[in-house]
Amino acid sequence: MTVTTFETKTYQNFINNEWTASSSDETIESINPATKEVVGLVQKSTEEDLNKAVQAAHEAKKAWRRIGQAARGQFLFKAANILEENLDHIAETMTREMGKTLPEAKGETARGIAILRYYAGEGMRKEGDVIPSSDKDALMFTKRTPLGVVGVITPWNFPVAIPIWKFAPALVYGNTIVWKPATEGAVTAAKVAECFVEAGLPEGVFNFITGSGSVIGQGLIDHPLLNAITFTGSENVGQNVAKSAAARGIKFQLEMGGKNPVIVTKDANIDQAVEAVISGGFRSSGQKCTASSRVIVEEAVYDEFKEKLVEAAEKITVGNGLQEGIWMGPCASESQFNTVTESIEKGQQEGATLIHGGEVLTGGEYDNGFFVTPAIFENVTTDMAIAQEEIFGPVVALIKAADLEEAIDMANDTKYGLSASIFTSNISSLLEFVDEIEVGLVRINAESAGVELQAPFGGMKASSSGSREQGEAAKEFFTAIKTVFIKGS
Ligand code: NAP
Ligand code: MG
């Protein structure tokens, strides 16, 4: 083990500038999926707690808007520095709470800090444009204005980066927030919240509340004082968010699941493709919305690719992500573990052939965690559940295609449209792919997972509500535009 001292604490909500316990007097345990130990306890909040949080954000919104964008940016710079001082501790907490390896957790935390600094810098960037008026004596311009109270609902798989890429832009553009993190990542989230609290944001601007999705999440999206909602998570819950927001005419943003394809063409660099599928398919135990889950390989190179992929998968070490030399951690929770093992069984029942892994690891330390070895299937057809449903686990399905055209049709044969890769050295193939593929993130000779904070992020079809996060795109969601026309009197 790299680290030895870790305190199991009870974390509170942060509402209206105060750490407070829930009125329920109840807490929820967060469990380490590698050891089944309790990582910490969080509040099992009630509607009463939620009302206080939304009310606080509502009351704070006028003063926060008036303080100005430049001043708001300064708070984010401060939070970034505090987060940086706590990077190792936050990363270790993340590994303990949701299982990803420590290097990955550190990478994610560093990304969160970079995102914060990017949006802190927005404090000094433009708030609108001057547009020529047809009246030569008039001044016409746009001015960005905040939406008001923004609800932020986040998943457990990136418990630091996703929340920050939502509430950093929300805050710098002048919104106040109520953040409800996923219960399975709530201790890590509480530590991120502590950094924001230490940055000294004014009263009511930043509110943090934990509790069950069906009570606090649902209560938040239905709350009459909410002005907008940003959500990342599963498709089912996302559709619910959309319905509620549309019914009340508030702005909403959804990023949801994926069934991301990788195409390997006959002129691909096979070693490069293998490395990318290993990384995209199995890092974070496949629990990334952009994970590679379907690999569509042209017949001509199928056998070579398959052999090399299995050889590479055999080298993957599975275990507690805190230990050195471990490349892949456990599934993040018992329920994830059940989904993964059931999907593997279902794949076999459907007639696909499991050619590598997919075993539950037992014996010694493995008995205390939710460990599955990376699974590779072949003889998969596009109608099978393992080719259609998001598994969110370390499972890769190999599909054979006759040629590029068939491969692209197969890649698009899913309700999802988040990310997709192609491996090819043929410029016509890659151009065709860029045009034909129905996803928001198009990757050429690179793994399907992987985003840059300064570029728009988001999906098409059932993966997204169509808006984009990160980079300059965040401004489109978190602000409204006022068009101002001024004439002298
Ligand atoms: P989830 O079950 O949908 O949960 C997401 C969040 O919604 C959690 O905070 C959850 O709280 C809350 N929630 C649950 N029920 C709710 C309800 N009825 N009303 C409002 N909120 C509710 O998803 P997850 O299992 O945490 O995350 C995995 C999913 O997220 C996958 O589908 C993955 O593809 C997707 N994902 C997408 C992206 C992307 O950017 N496209 C990124 C990462 C993950 P509780 O934890 O308390 O239940
Ligand atoms: Mg957990």
Percent of the chain with pLDDT over 70: 99
Asked whether 356 and 395 are in contact (CB, 8 A), the reply is: no
HEC per residue, the chain: CCCCCCCCEEECEEECCEEECCCCCCEEEEECCCCCCEEEEEECCCHHHHHHHHHHHHHHHHHHHHCCHHHHHHHHHHHHHHHHHCHHHHHHHHHHHHCCCHHHHHHHHHHHHHHHHHHHHHCCCCCCCECCCCCCCEEEEEEEEECCEEEEECCCCCCCHHHHHHHHHHHHCCCEEEEECCHHHHHHHHHHHHHHHHCCCCCCCEEECCCCHHHHHHHHHCCCCCCEEEEECCHHHHHHHHHHHHHHCCEEEEECCCCEEEEECCCCCHHHHHHHHHHHHHHHHHCCCCCEEEEEEEHHHHHHHHHHHHHHHHCCCECCCCCCCCCECCCCCHHHHHHHHHHHHHHHHCCCEEEECCCECCCHHHHHCCCECCEEEECCCCCCHHHHCCCCCCEEEEEEECCHHHHHHHHHCCCEECEEEEECCCHHHHHHHHHHCCCCEEEECCCCCCCCCCCCECCEECCECCCCECCCHHHHHHEEEEEEEEECC
Share the mean pLDDT of the chain: 97
Tokens encoding 293: 């889950």
What is the distance in A from the centroid of ligand 2 to the CA of 33? Answer: 6
At 397 the pLDDT is 98
Residue 4 has pLDDT above 60, yes or no: no
pLDDT (mean) for 409-425: 98
At 5 the pLDDT is 60
Tokens encoding 169: 């832009």
Q: Rounded CA gap, 219 and 214, in Å?
A: 8
What is the distance in A from the centroid of ligand 2 to the CA of 209? Answer: 17
pTM listed for this prediction = 0.97
Choice from 237, 284, 287, 292 to test ligand 1 binding pocket (greatest atom count within 8 A of CB): 237
pLDDT tens by residue, 191-206: 999 999 999 999 999 9
Q: Which residues contact 115 (CB under 8 A, 6 or more apart)?
A: 161, 164, 165, 168, 453, 470
Question: Closest ligand 1 atom to the C-alpha of 155?
Answer: 26
What is the distance in A from the centroid of ligand 1 to the CA of 390? Answer: 13
Question: Closest ligand 1 atom to the C-alpha of 181?
Answer: 9
pLDDT (mean) for 220-228: 98
pLDDT (mean) for 160-178: 98
Choice from 222, 284, 289 to test ligand 1 binding pocket (greatest atom count within 8 A of CB): 289
Residues with CB under 6 A from ligand 1: 153-158, 162, 180-184, 212-214, 217-218, 221, 232-234, 237, 240, 255-258, 289, 390, 392, 418, 459, 463
Of the candidates 92, 122, 289, 378, the residue annotated as catalytic is: 289
331 belongs to the catalytic site: no
What is the distance in A from the centroid of ligand 1 to the CA of 193? Answer: 19
pLDDT tens by residue, 298-321: 999 999 999 999 999 999 999 999
- The partner residues of 422 in beta bridges, in order of sequence, read 263, 444
Choice from 232, 285, 331, 337 to test ligand 1 binding pocket (greatest atom count within 8 A of CB): 232
Place of tokens 């401060």: 78
Residue 3 has pLDDT above 50, yes or no: no
Tokens encoding 154: 């986040």
Task: For the domain made up of 9-256+464-486, give the CATH fold.
Answer: Aldehyde Dehydrogenase; Chain A, domain 1 (3.40.605)
What is the distance in A from the centroid of ligand 1 to the CA of 256? Answer: 8
Residue 45 has pLDDT above 90, yes or no: yes
Domain with CATH 3.40.309.10 in the chain: 260-452
96 alpha carbon, closest ligand: 2
Residue closest to 415 by CA, chosen among 459, 354, 473: 459
- Reported as a pLDDT band with limits 50, 70 and 90, residue 7 is confident
At 267 the pLDDT is 97
Nearest CA to ligand 1 atom 13: 213
Ligand 2 is a single-atom ion; what residues have CB below 5 A from it? 31, 184, 333
- The partner residues of 328 in beta bridges, in order of sequence, read 318
- The partner residues of 295 in beta bridges, in order of sequence, read 262, 398
Q: Rounded CA gap, 388 and 264, in Å?
A: 19
Nearest CA to ligand 1 atom 23: 233
pLDDT (mean) for 473-477: 98
Residue 88 has pLDDT above 70, yes or no: yes
Question: Closest ligand 1 atom to the C-alpha of 289?
Answer: 34
pLDDT tens by residue, 102-125: 999 999 999 999 999 999 999 999
- The partner residues of 192 in beta bridges, in order of sequence, read none
Residue 34 has pLDDT above 70, yes or no: yes
pLDDT tens by residue, 52-64: 999 999 999 999 9
What is the distance in A from the centroid of ligand 2 to the CA of 404? Answer: 41
What is the distance in A from the centroid of ligand 2 to the CA of 320? Answer: 13
Q: Which residues contact 440 (CB under 8 A, 6 or more apart)?
A: 417, 418, 419, 456, 457, 458, 459, 460, 463, 464, 468
Domain with CATH 3.40.605.10 in the chain: 9-256+464-486
324 belongs to the catalytic site: no
Radius of gyration of the chain (CA): 23
Question: Closest ligand 1 atom to the C-alpha of 212?
Answer: 47
Task: For the domain made up of 260-452, give the CATH fold.
Answer: Aldehyde Dehydrogenase; Chain A, domain 2 (3.40.309)
Nearest CA to ligand 1 atom 15: 213
pLDDT tens by residue, 323-366: 999 999 999 999 999 999 999 999 999 999 999 999 999 999 99
Q: Rounded CA gap, 150 and 189, in Å?
A: 17
Residue 1 has pLDDT above 80, yes or no: no
Q: Rounded CA gap, 69 and 14, in Å?
A: 23
Q: How far is CA 435 from CA 174, 430, 483, in A?
A: 37, 9, 35
Asked whether 399 and 295 are in contact (CB, 8 A), the reply is: yes
- The partner residues of 261 in beta bridges, in order of sequence, read 294
